[in-house]
Amino acid sequence: MPLMEPYRIKVVEPIPILTRAEREVAMVRAGYNPFNLRADEITIDLLSDSGTGALSAAQQAAGALGDETYAGARSFYRFRETVEKLAGYPHILPVHQGRAAERILFNALLTPGQLCLSNTHFDTTRANVVLAGGVPVDLPCPEAADLDSPAPFKGDIDLDRLTAALTGPDRERVGVVLMTITNNGGGGQPVSMANLRAVSDLCRAHGVPFFLDAARFAENAWLVIQREDGYAHHTPEQVARLAFDLADGAVASLKKDAIAHMGGFLALRDDALAQRCELTLIATEGFRTYGGLSGRDLEMLAQGLTEVVQPDYLRARAAATEHLGNLITAAGVSIVRPAGIHALYLNAGRLLTHLPPSRFPGHALATELYLAGGVRCAELGSLYLGQEDEHGNLVKAAPHELVRLAIPRRVYTQSHLEYVAEVVAEIAQHPERVPGYRVVEAPPLLRHFNCRVEPV
């Protein structure tokens, strides 16, 4: 059986096809920042895999059953039963999206100055640790630094540094350990079960709470089945459950692996912590049986959680990403290896060698992908992660100049992805023609979302 999408298309949406001249006008208006583009200016949107998936007919049908009762809605109980069956936690709080779960958890768990140790914090997770007075610390495994290494689990945490942190002079300050599966900030790489088990054992031995950021729990489970000894005959649900069993709770954005447009959960074992979180939930998100979501959302999430663990779906999604990765590599553009599932990360620094970090090669490549083919994506390089002095000079470059191509779930066909590869290949023929950029206007925080830049 050839690998193909295990679904057919029932509802379609036209995609805009612009001329290069029209895209140039759009980019000037957008201040050369892809975040400022309008959807009707974009041909293939690879900005995010979050909330961008296509609903199934079964999800649409489930949505029609949504019970909008304020307290005690049927839809909440269906949602809770599904998450309970999947993850096994006694307390499940629905939230409108992942970052709400992060805010509620860290405010209830961390005291000022406490450390949150992680394989890598996602941006909002890091921000919510800081806003709760905590200090986020990333401890990625050494293999993660080598973008070309084919090591299978480059999303792992560095167990030596974790042990050192839990036994060293700052051990009293460690408030929580959080493992992001898969590791979005670290090239979308998976975390092995062996690593999760070791983290769990260390946390138990030192009395530190252990949480998962489970936004892509099904994709992590799939890569464990493919890559880790002893799991080849497990189902994605079984592997996911083994991971959830190792932790004291989880935060999850369900905009990814529930293939829905909005939603999330905070799941906990500890009764007292759950009670504290529930108070904040009610005060800031919504009553405990809806948490900022409609009954329709809760129904679609429950259905999506049963679809995302289907082996045929995960196999096809992993194969599609790998296929795109192979085409891009064949065109002479390096990606972070090995390919994960939710995104590919292009090594722009290696392609655009004529541009120093201060000319933002990642941003230059992302902009060129739009100008050349209407493909929108975001840089993960010095524009986002670099540091500048008061005169706007880059004083600290990002460790790598990357561009993330995030793949929405069930949205683009193989021919769409092949088109993206063609656009990449076209740019790769004359990389020296891609101009660098300088910042014209930037807010003090989260500047990659709002800045305006111009080619130089």
Give the catalytic positions in this structure: 70, 122-123, 213, 215, 256, 448
- Cβ nearer to ligand F0G, comparing 79 with 358: 79
Quick check: 220 binds ligand F0G (CB under 6 A)? no
Among 184, 192, 195, 347, binds ligand F0G (CB under 6 A): 184
Question: Is residue 253 a contact residue for ligand F0G (CB under 6 A)?
Answer: yes
C-alpha to C-alpha distance for 195 and 150, rounded to whole angstroms: 17
Piece in contact with ligand F0G (CB under 6 A), picked from 1-9, 36-44, 122-130, 427-435: 122-130
Q: How far is the CB of 354 from ligand F0G (least distance, A)?
A: 29
Q: Which of residues 123-162 bind ligand F0G (CB under 6 A)?
A: 124-125
Q: Is residue 213 involved in binding ligand F0G (CB under 6 A)?
A: yes
Instruction: Provide the b/e sequence for 21-49 (b: ≥16 CB within 10 Å).
Output: eebeebbeebebbbebbeeebbbbbbbbb
- Sites for ligand F0G among residues 276-315 (CB under 6 A): none
When the beta carbons of 104 and 434 are compared against ligand F0G, the nearer one is: 104
Least distance in angstroms from the C-beta of 128 to ligand F0G:
9
When binding is defined by CB under 6 A, the residue of 264, 304, 325, 381 that contacts ligand F0G is 264
Closest CA to 209 of 150, 261, 249, 158: 249
Identify which range of 13-21, 121-129, 316-324, 367-375 contacts ligand F0G by CB under 6 A: 121-129
Q: Which of 78, 255, 296, 376 touches ligand F0G by CB under 6 A?
A: 255
Cα separation, 78 vs 85, in Å, equals 11
Which listed residue (75, 180, 358, 382) binds ligand F0G by CB under 6 A? 180
Nearest alpha-carbon partner for 266 in 385, 123, 91: 91
Q: Residue 359, Cα to own-chain centre: how many angstroms?
A: 26
Radius of gyration of the CA atoms of the chain, in A: 22
Q: Is 9 exposed, middle or buried (0-12, 13-18, 19+ CB in 10 A)?
A: exposed
342 Cβ partners below 8 Å, 6+ apart? 49, 182, 184, 188, 216, 219, 256, 321, 406, 407
Closer by beta carbon to ligand F0G, 125 or else 192 = 125
Task: Tell me the CA distances in angstroms from 167 to 61, 204, 206, 214, 264, one per residue in order.
Answer: 52, 13, 8, 27, 34
CB of 125 to ligand F0G, least distance (A): 6
| Residue closest to ligand F0G when measured from CB atoms | 98
Quick one: tokens of 428?
């790769």
Q: Which two tokens stand for residue 222?
A: 């799939």
Task: For 97-170, list the strands marked E by DSSP.
Answer: 115-118, 135-138
5-44 footprint of ligand F0G as x/- string (CB under 6 A): ----------------------------------------
**Adjacency order of strands within the sheet including 378-380:** 343-347, 402-406, 378-380
Q: What residues numbered 47-66 form the site for ligand F0G, per CB under 6 A?
A: 48, 50
Helix (H/G/I), strand (E/B), else coil: 427: helix
> Which of 34, 94, 98, 295 touches ligand F0G by CB under 6 A?
98
Of 95-103, 203-211, 217-225, 307-315, which part binds ligand F0G (CB under 6 A)?
95-103
Shortest distance (Å) from residue 291 CB to ligand F0G: 13
* Helix, coil or strand: residue 404: strand
Single residue of 32, 89, 106, 122 touching ligand F0G by CB under 6 A:
122
Asked whether position 215 contacts ligand F0G by CB under 6 A, the answer is: yes
CA triple 450-452-454, angle to 5 deg = 155
Residue length, the chain? 456
Count residues contacting ligand F0G (CB under 6 A)? 16
Query: Which residues in 283-382 belong to E strands, given as ranges?
Result: 343-347, 375-376, 378-380
Work out whether 219 is an interface residue with ligand F0G (CB under 6 A). Answer: no
Footprint of ligand F0G (CB under 6 A): 48, 50, 97-99, 122, 124-125, 180, 184, 213, 215, 253, 255, 264, 406
